Amino acid sequence: MDVKKGTTTIGIITKDSVVIGAEQKSTMGYMIDSKVAQKIFKVDNHIGLTIAGSVGDALAIVRVLKAQLRLHDIERGPITLKGAATLLSNILQGSKYYPYMNQFILAGFDKQPGLYSFDPLGGFDVKDKFYSTGSGSPFAYGVLESEFNESISTEEAISLIIKAIKTAIERDIGSGGKEIQIAVIDKNGYKDLTSQELKKYM
């Protein structure tokens, strides 16, 4: 049975924010299932999540994570990004014998921007200032490695993500779609950029 999958997602830490992006194509085997698939999700007021891999598995994780973060907010107050990362890791590790077929990037802003990359078993990496997941990530990393700099601004990160995703789309059959999704998370919280706002970066 073919499952919906395919993707290029990216996260970049800037001086005062974290920017995440993804294209919108999902595939089932050799068929394009959707050209407007959502791959970036707001899971808390200051936290966003990108998904890559099996769409059904990923959406189940998004639902569980949102519910758990909402419960934490009611019972204990807002969760930290590190706390959310630990929670997601535990959820994924709990299914290690029947793992979810996904990679995730968790991005957020507490007192400073942060970025976590997850494998299907809940292992995560937090050392780097940028990550890419999905079938197009090898092509995206080529652009990111050559053009990222430590003093990158939010606007520059948006442009770099778009360039890296466009490069992946050129070479990866699992990446594509009608538009590119971008979200910015900073001290003011999570914000999805509209198509109109993205035009100046294209």
Residues tagged active-site: 7
Written as one string, the DSSP assignment of 48-104 is EEEEEE-HHHHHHHHHHHHHHHHHHHHHH-PPPHHHHHHHHHHHHHTTTTS--SEEE
Buried b (16+ CB within 10 A) or exposed e, 19-52: bbbbbbbbbeeeeebbeebebbbbbbebbbbbbb
